[in-house]
Every structure is written in C-alpha cells, then in structure tokens.
Chain A
Amino acid sequence: MRRDIEGHGTPSDDPYEPDRVEQICHAALALEPANRAAFIAEACAGDERLRREVESLLRHESNVDGFLVEPALLTAAQRIAEGSEHALIGRQIGVYHIHSLLGAGGMGEVYRARDSALGRDVAIKVLPRLFVTEPDRVTRFMREARVLAALTHPHIGAIYGLEHVDGVPALVLELVEGETLAAHIKRGPLAPTEALMIARQVADALDAAHERGIVHRDLKPANIMIAADGTARVLDFGLASMAAGNVPHGGLTPPHSAVSTVASRVGAVLGTPAYMSPEQAVGGVADRRSDLWAFGVVLLEMLTGRPVFAGDTDEQLLAAVLNDDPDWSRLPAATPLAARRLLRRCLQRDRKRRLDSASAARLEIDDALAPPGGEAGEAGVVVPVQGWSRSHKAWIAAAVLASVAAGAAAVGMIGRPEATYVKHFAIPVRGEVSQLALSSDGALLAFVMPDVDTGRHVLHVQAIGAPRATALTGTEGASFPFWSPDNAYVGFFKDRKLMKVRPSGGAAQTIVEVTDTARGASWGSRNVIVYSQRSGGPLWRVNADGTGAAALTDTLLTPDEQSHRWPVFLPDGDRFVFWGGHFSKDGERSGIYLSSLSMRQKVFIVAARSNPGFASDGKLFYVDEAGQLVMHAFDSTSGRLEGDVRVVSAAVGFQAALYWGAFTVSATGAVVVNPSTATSQSVLTWYDRSGNELGTAGRPGVMFNPSLSPDGRRVAVDISDAKASNVDVWVIDLQGDTAGRFTFDPAEEATPVWSPDGGRIAYQSADTGTKVKVTSGFEDGRIVAQRPAVSLTTGNNIYPNSWSRDGTSLLARVEGVGLESAHLALFRMGDPRPTRLGTNNSNQTNGQISPDGNWLAYASYESGESSVYVTTFPGAAGKWQVSVGGGSEPRWRGDGQEIFYLDSQSVLTAVTVRIGTAVSFSSGPPRPLFRARVRPRLSTSDLFSYDVTKDGSRFIVNRYVPPSSVAPLDILLNATAAEAPGSSLSPATR
C-alpha cells in the first residue's frame, strides 16, 4: 500500500522504512536538481535520519547511468579477455590438465596444472600472444628456455618442458609452493644472517645461469620464492628476454610518458623498475652485471625491510635509480662488514666498477656469514675460546659481577654481538632457579624460583649484572615465563591463564584462558604467541591481545607424535622451532622441528629430547643425549644443520619428564644456563599431625606421586632419571629403606596407585601414548618380574587416581582434548569404555574413592579456584564442598571419618566428615595441621604430593629439597661467536 508523500505529518520512527525512502527518492529524482533539497527537507519533515538515508542514496545519482550497463556475462567475459584470465582452465595440454590460474599480466598467464604422467603439479606459463608475432624473439626465448631446461639447480625454478597452446609457446615450470621473498620482506626486515643465507642461494643461482650465458634481467623479491622446505629459488630466468627489444605494448607501463617508453623499450614490462640497473634504465643492454645490481638492491631491501629506490611514479623511480644513493644508514648495525662491502660493490652505478660475478658475491657472503675471527678482543676479562673446552673459559666471580660497574659492563657487552669471544660470567641466585627466559636483548632474565615456605613457584626478574632478582608479587604459581618481543612484558602461565606482567612489577593481565597443563610459550615479533595448550597435542596460537586462540600445529601432528611443545620464534615472528615427537624412546622422529605460522608444514631438524633455543644469527641450541647443552649452526630457511655441533655447557639442568633443559638464549646470542643438574629435588619425608619431621624414606631425587601400599610397608613413587632422560615407577621398602625399580620400560611411567589388596600397581605409561597399565608385580610381598599388564586405553592421556574397593575398577583422571578440561572416569578392567563421572568442564582431578566405596572426594576448579568436593560413588549424586578457601589433593583416612587436603598455601588440612545414610554427608570445619613444603609440580603427571597412613597419624610428603648450595647461573655472552677463522663453526660452504 502506498502512502501519500505530501500528506503525512508524523516522521517515521524507522529511518530505513523501505517504501518511504523509495518514494521520496523517486519524487526527488523527478524534480530538477535545484529543487530537490527543499523537497527532501519538506518530505522528511524534520526526520533527520530519514533525510540522511534519502540523501545518501541520491548522492550516487550521477553514477547510475553508467552502472550495470552491460550484463554480468559481458563483465565476466571482459575480465577474462582483458586479464586473459581463466581462458585455459579445464583444458588439457599434452599431459597437463590445467586447473586454475595462478597469475596473469604483461608477461602472460601462469596456470597451475596437473602432470598426469608424473602425477605432480606444475606451473604452465603461457606467453602473451603479442610476442609470438616476432619470430626472432620467440627463437631467442626458446633457445634460452632449452638451456635453462637442461640446467638443474637447487636454487633455480626448474623448467620441465615446452608446450604449445594454440600456437603460443608455453613453458612448463616447476611449481614452487611457498611465499615470495617480497611477501617475506613485507613483514619486516630480515635478520642479517637470514638475509645473507637467502642471498647466498640467489648468488648461487645467478652464478649457475651466468655460466651458461643466461641473464635473468628481472631479478626482484617477487621472483624469488622461499619454498616450503625453506629453500630459495629464483624464478623466471631469462623470461625478460622475451620483452627485451622494442616492445610497444607490455600491458603494464603506460605508454604516454617518456621515461616509461624508455622502460618499455628495455624490457621493464614486468612492473616496477625499482630493481632495474642504471644501464637498463637508460636503454642499455642487460648483462650479468645488471643482475648483480638487482641482486644488491634485493639484498639491501632484505636487510632494511624497505625499497632501496622509491618514487611515486615510474619516472621518479627511474630517476632515483639513476641519481640517488641508497640510504646506507638504514642498514642494521649488525650487518657484517663483508656484507656492507658486497652491497657497495654491487650497487656501483658504473657497471665497469661493479662486481662482475655472482661467484665473487657468494664468496663475500661466505665471508660475511663466517664469524669474525682474529680481531682484537674487547675490554674486560676475556679469554678466547679454543675448542670450547671448559679450561679456556673465563670466569668472573659472582661477587665481582655483583658490583654495579661490572653489571653495566656486562650489559654493554651484550649489546655488541660482534664481540669476538665468548665470555662467561656467573649470576648469583638465592634459590633454585628453573624455567628461565632471557629477554631478546639479553639484558633481563626472568625465571621462577620456589618460595621457601610454600614451595610455590614465584616469578622473578633480574637485570643481568644486578646483584639480585626481584620477585614479582601476585605471581605465585607462575610457570614457564617468556618475553614479549619488545621486552615490555614477561608472559607466564598461572591458574589456567596465560598472563603477562611488566618486568618492573604491577598487576598481571590475563591474555587468554588456557588449560591447567598449558605451558611453554614464545611471543613472536608479529605479536602472535605460540604455546602448548596441554601436555599432549599440538601447539596453539593466540594473538597477543588475546584474540584468535586456536590450535596451530594440529594438522602437523602425526599419529606417532604425542606432543608439540617448547616453541621458540625466530626473529621474523613467523617461523618457529619446537619439539615434537613421542615420549617413548623409540619415537624415531622425536626431535626439534622448524615450522611457521604461514606455511603449516614442519621440517625435521635434529633428533633430540629437549626444548630448542635460537640465536638470531642462526644457531640452534638444545640438550643432547649426553645431557650437554649444544649449539649447531642451522639454516633457518631449510632447517638443515650445518657444520659441527659444539658443546656450550657440559652441564645443564634437565627435566626428563618434560624434555626440558634449564637454558635460555637471547636473540643477541647470550645464553643463560642453570648448570645444576640437581634441580627440583625432593625427598619423601614423614611427618606427624603436628608437622614434626619423623624421618625420610629413600634418597632425594626428582620424584612425585608417593603412594603408600595398603599395608603401609611400602611406598611407590615415580622417579625421574635425568641422565637416562626417563621416568619410572620405583617401590621403596619402608622397613629396610631399600628402593627397587618397578617399571623398566624406556617410556615414561608415572603416577603409581596401589590396588586395595596391595597386589597390583596401576600407573600411567607413555609408551604408546595414553593408557594406564595395571601391573601385577608382587608375590609373597616381594617385587617380582612383571606379568603381562592390563592396558586401559582411551584417546586421551589418563592418570590413575584410585582403585575401587573390590579392585575391579580404576578411577582415573582423563585429560581433555583441545580446551576441554580434565575429568574423572571409571575404567572397569577389560571394558574398553570408561564411565565418565561428572560432566562439567571443571578440571576434576585426584579422585579418591572412600574406604567404604560409597563416596568420592576430588579436587576441581568449578568455583574458579581449586576446591575439594565430595560426591556419591559411583552415582556422583550431590556435591559437598569440603575445603574452605581453596584446596587440592584430598586423601581419606582409612576409616573414612576424615579427609585431608592441601590448602592454597600448601598447608595440610584435616576435615572431619560424618557420613550418615547413602546420601547424607557433612563435614566439619577445616583444621590446619602443618605447612607441607611440597615440591612444585612440573609435569602433568605430577598429581600427588603426599599420602597418609590408614590411621591418619602420619603423612609421607614429597618434600622439596632446595639445593644445599645454590649454584650460580652461568651466562655466556656472545655464545655464538666463533673461534679462529677456519674453525668448523663456519657455515659449510655449499
């Protein structure tokens, strides 16, 4: 129904009311333009939104007649015609079936095609029809193509063959996946080492082609591909020769300007003349020295991250090439002298004075990449390192370094990575430092150190050279610190959150919620944080602002890999190294991998069971099988190791349960190592209810999860053997205080739980990933050879918590997948399908079935902090909170009348419970007993810090043992600096 425009008096409430807007529009359009404004104002009658709506539409009135004049079919055809796009898609050319268009322009079209004979994808480049009209040019092009086709070179995009499409020659080319160097540079300048590594490959390619008389003529970042495996490949060799000569129309350069005409004449039809040599710019013939000019421009652009010659128009650009000097001041300070020399020799405008061979360029690059040697040492106590033997290290006493002056000197030296020698200092620390992270500039060290009273990890920051570290308040429970790329924040994990805090202190901010087992993060220069969401599974990523949390390497996780962890970004903020593999000893491809945010592929670097470290000059650090911190030169584009491995530190603290070594590497090549291998030590210690220490059981070691046998005569515990890089279950005989190894599998075995009859021990085994093995290991009270185990398997990591009273079922903590929290589930022996208890996403753990078998005590985060609850078993009906103010790790007294737990300050707490009928439960007020100095948790299998005797009178606590004398941390400045020239650290010349 139409309403009368003139007649209405009430402005519409809805400014978007379609009819009304349209009517006013049409009425206004019917008027002379001069009269429209007044009409609209009147018609809208003061409704401003309606008026704006009408006016915003009428504003486009002048364009209506030229809009959508031709039907869409013609528009589509025009696109195809003018871009010559898609014209061949779906066609079969020889053995090639053309799939899609990859690119198009003045030099023709490039299609992706399938080689049905060889079963591989190729690129097919169809030349512009225009060029075919000049037989000389085609002949020359074909000749060069044949030469190139005969040339197989690792850094030249291969030519597979020549085809003809409707009489037009088409090149069949290697399809190089990856990204162009141009795209890479767009993200920022490359580190000098990386830039030089790429440049060396390009020089290699130029050298090979030049030797055969082929000049590229159009070398530029867009023609250099960084392939998925990291190799650089130069594309489109010689193609520009097609365009050389008097080309009136290249499709890209407007013919109206004089300079552009020049550009066209010399073959600059491929777009920007920014990489064109001066001789090409004035119409001269290109030779190999022209390629070396372009090579210099490309290298300089890699190092500075910006175009060398710039201009708003082609004319300005060519004028800059002809007249301007590159802005050398933009070169990063770390650019090696040889690289500076190379750049100047390439960017000689007079080509007679220019470097005239690519092989000479490559030699310069090798010089630039070789660590400087033989130059004068720096001030300070410095001893040249020979062969990395410890005897040659220079040590400075902690006391000396503690002085402000020495500290300043140390920091000053960190800022100068060109220094010739490795320098060693000691950093004094007051407690056991673990999980350390050096800021990228090497000036600040973040680490966690257990609080002496609570045993909880607290985040500390120490300026290198400062006498002591500062504890950051509010960071109790923090783990695995890492730095923001600008070193303005320390990131860390705490209470199921990924957080950040200023190194100077202040309130910590949550970046994103994570699971309780998340750890190990790296914050890249593109402000993406990569981390392990849980102990198993892929790496995750999240933007530094907390958005975009998602699994990252899930598609790269192979079936025989259990975990991707310990990511370390490379300086480009895209690539990162990480550990991936299987926790069993036989995982063949367990080791350090290279991957990137963009490529979604991973390249195996080296077999190791260690977190990696990376220094920006391309050195990879890890702990080797012998437990030494080693360094290996590493091609960060291909992932290949180069040269020999070197020992950086013969001793490094190592967590066998985590595959994590206590070292950190700054981008500047400073390394901090905790050389103390006796980290995270604890000893099983008896206490009475008042906290009096009654004695110890067994010897100190790296252990967790004590579990008392039902008869109270033995305790099972998992012990980590740092040397063997393995975790096994041991049984300690409390009478004789003798310990016997219970599991012998090369895979990690942890979290032992005794069966009620004392005849079996259930434990978690990592040998095939995710199962609980129930081992019958006892006869006549003695440990005997293990019998075949019963395996309980799910797709997730499961940790045994408690046996049912009759010994037929096992309650276990089942880790979730993705962001899902852990839950408790009941496994019946022989039944592969567990029964899930509780459905809430609240990270249930430490489930303990009551002695009468009717109740279940457990800890859960459902209130936001860990609390202890009781529910019925197995029905899980009702829920009673037992703890007040936080609690974890419930244990029952043997008569079921008391529940113990650890409060949030690690105080062992007792609660009397009254159990009436099957559904009547009540508990008294919590009574603190004593502070249990439990060792902080490290591994996800670290669930139980203590156990209690049946009568509730004595507790066996996994008591943290601080090192008797705290070994200072070892800091190596210029750790990647090499020795005398000719040493094996020099990157291998290819």
Chain B
Amino acid sequence: MEPRETPTALLLAWGRGEADAFDRLVPLVHAELRRLAVRYMSRERPGHTLQATALVNEAYLRLIEINHVSWQNRAHFFALSARAMRRILVDSARARNNDKRGGGIPKVPLDDALREASLVDPDLVTLDEALSRLETCHPRKGHVVELRYFGGLSVEETAEALHVSPDTVKRDWRFAKLWLLRALNGDAP
C-alpha cells in the first residue's frame, strides 16, 4: 500500500479539505471492520470481552496510527478520526437497515439472541440521531461521546483532544450516557 493511502494519511488529507480522501477511506475502514468481524466470529470463547477489547484496540490502532501524527496535530486528528469513524459506521449501519427494509428476497428474522444484544448496544443509526440532538444542547458532551465511542479514544486521549481535564471527560461521559439512554428509551423529561 502506498504510504499516502493509509487510513491515517487519508484522514489527514480529508482534514486538509480533500473531499475524495474520505471516499477512499471508506473501503479501508470496511475492510478493517470485516477483518475484525471475522476474528470476532472465530474467537474461541464467545463473549470473552477482554479478547474482543484487544481486537478492537488493535483495529483502531491500524486505522488511526496516532504515532505518525505530529504532536501539534494530535487533538485535531483525534477529532477528525472520530468524526470519520462515526460517519462511516453510521452510514454502513444505515445501509444495512435499508437493505433489511427494501429488497425482494424474503428476510429471515434474526434470532432473539441478536435482538437482545441490540438492547445493550444500540443501533448505530438511532444512536447517531440521539447524539446529534445531544450535540445541540450539550455540544462538549456530544464531542466526548463521538471521541470515546466512535473514535475509540481513552479518557485521557479524549481530554487531550478537548483540552479539558480527564475528570471533566468522565463527568461528561457519564452524563451523556444518561442523556442518551433517556433519549433512546423515548422518555420525556
């Protein structure tokens, strides 16, 4: 692979305003997603969270080679990569949802186990919509969610990206999750 075409290089190019860099980034993220999915499927012990976490961290590291980014750019790059991941993952989930609704082949319902899983991890499209609403009334908390959940950043990295203390990130993160849970459950305040 050309050095220019690494996900990191494409993200930086996108950050410089090269719109088509994003389009070239999408298949790379999808490839990583599939690779992660295959490894996740072939995991020896289902539900072994630790292993899954290791896998996903590895995937993020491959996509976002933060060591190749200069220190001045780190905060910017974190924000950029989280935004890109959000868009790609939500678009992909949306496409999948659309495929389920449309199309001519009879759909076989997914089993209950999967539906239960979705209660824990919400549909990305729905979450994205709720997050957009959160961003309008609590912009910084929205950023925290985007960086942590979509960008895969740690509390410290998130704090660095937002120029706030890790404690603030923790507080924001907790409040944002309460807010999103309420929104996802359709509760009126």
Contacts and interface: CB of A to CB of B under 8 A. Distances in A.
A76 B33 contact: yes
B145 A68 contact: yes
B178 A74 contact: no
Interface residues of A, number: 69
User: 6 closest Cβ contacts across the A-B interface?
Assistant: A105-B108, A60-B181, A80-B37, A77-B36, A222-B106, A71-B152
Interface in B1-58: 27, 30, 32-34, 36-38, 40-41, 49, 52-53, 55-56
Contact of B53 (A70, A107, A112, A182): A70
B75 interface: no
Contacts of A18: 137-138
B116 to A, nearest CB: 11
Given A101-B99, A105-B108, A222-B106, A71 B149 contact: yes
A645 interface: no
A73 B89 contact: yes
Contacts of B55: 74
Contact of A74 (B36, B86, B110, B112): B36
B60 interface: yes
Contacts of A78: 37, 40, 117, 121
A176 interface: yes
B64 to A, nearest CB: 10
Contacts of A180: 106
A77 B178 contact: no
Contacts of B171: 26
Given A80-B34, A81-B38, A271 B109 contact: yes
Nearest to A103: B107
B132 to A, nearest CB: 15
Contacts of A89: 30
10 contacts: A26-B171, A56-B188, A57-B189, A73-B60, A73-B89, A81-B37, A90-B27, A102-B99, A103-B100, A103-B105
Given A77-B33, A100-B99, A254-B112, A82 B117 contact: yes
Interface string B102-142: 01111111111110010011001000000000000110000
Interface in A690-715: none
Contacts of B152: 71-73
Nearest to B53: A70
A864 B99 CA distance: 48
A360 to B, nearest CB: 27
A84 B40 CA distance: 11
Nearest to A71: B152
A225 B95 CA distance: 23
Contacts of A61: 178
Interface in A290-347: none
Contacts of B109: 105, 252, 271
A178 B105 CA distance: 9
B179 A57 contact: yes
Given A64-B177, A72-B124, A73-B36, A79 B96 contact: yes
B106 A235 contact: yes
Contact of B182 (A56, A75, A82, A253): A56
Contact of A67 (B33, B38, B103, B120): B120
Contacts of B189: 15-16, 52-53, 56-57
B178 A58 contact: yes
Interface in A70-120: 70-87, 89-90, 100-107, 110, 112
Given A68-B145, A87-B34, A102-B105, A57 B114 contact: no
A75 B108 contact: no
A64 B177 CA distance: 6
Of residues A76, A175, A223, A253, which shows the largest number of chain B Cβ atoms within 10 Å of its Cβ?
Answer: A76
B181 A67 contact: yes
Nearest to B29: A73
A440 to B, nearest CB: 31
Of residues A104, A179, A253, A271, which shows the largest number of chain B Cβ atoms within 10 Å of its Cβ?
Answer: A104
Of residues A70, A79, A178, A223, which shows the largest number of chain B Cβ atoms within 10 Å of its Cβ?
Answer: A79
Contact of A75 (B95, B121, B178, B188): B121
Interface string B69-105: 0000000000000000110010011011001100111
A964 interface: no
Of residues B103, B145, B177, B178, which shows the largest number of chain A Cβ atoms within 10 Å of its Cβ?
Answer: B178
Given A56-B188, A86-B34, A70 B52 contact: yes
Contacts of A101: 96, 99
Nearest to A22: B175
A25 interface: yes
B26 to A, nearest CB: 10
Nearest to A61: B178
Contacts of B95: 100
B11 to A, nearest CB: 14
Contacts of A105: 107-111
A86 B40 contact: no
A76 B105 contact: no
A132 B8 CA distance: 39
A227 to B, nearest CB: 8
A182 B86 CA distance: 36
A968 B56 CA distance: 82
Contacts of B106: 103, 180, 182, 222-223, 225, 235-236
Given A29-B174, A56-B189, A270 B108 contact: yes
A240 to B, nearest CB: 12
B188 A225 contact: no
Of residues A29, A67, A177, which shows the largest number of chain B Cβ atoms within 10 Å of its Cβ?
Answer: A67
A559 interface: no
A110 B102 CA distance: 13
Contact of A175 (B37, B104, B180): B104
A223 B107 CA distance: 9
Contact of B104 (A29, A53, A75, A177): A177
Contacts of B66: none
Nearest to B176: A68
B92 A76 contact: yes
A73 B181 contact: no
A63 B92 contact: no
Contacts of A102: 99, 103-105, 107
A16 B110 CA distance: 39
B105 A123 contact: yes
A89 B26 CA distance: 13
A403 B53 CA distance: 86
A66 interface: yes
Contacts of A52: 189
A235 B107 CA distance: 12
B188 to A, nearest CB: 7
Contact of A66 (B59, B120, B180): B120
Contacts of B120: 66-67
A787 interface: no
A58 B112 CA distance: 29
Nearest to B26: A90
A59 interface: yes
Given A25-B178, A29-B174, A72-B86, A112 B103 contact: yes
A67 B174 CA distance: 10
Contacts of A22: 138, 175
A25 B188 CA distance: 17
A15 to B, nearest CB: 7
Contacts of B108: 103-107, 252, 270-271
Contacts of A82: 41, 110, 113-114, 117
Interface string A36-67: 00000000000000001100111111011011
B30 A90 contact: yes
Given A64-B178, A102-B103, A77 B187 contact: no
B49 to A, nearest CB: 8
A283 interface: no
Contact of B111 (A56, A179, A251): A251
A58 B177 CA distance: 11
Contact of A71 (B27, B56, B93, B104): B56
Contacts of A26: 171, 174-175
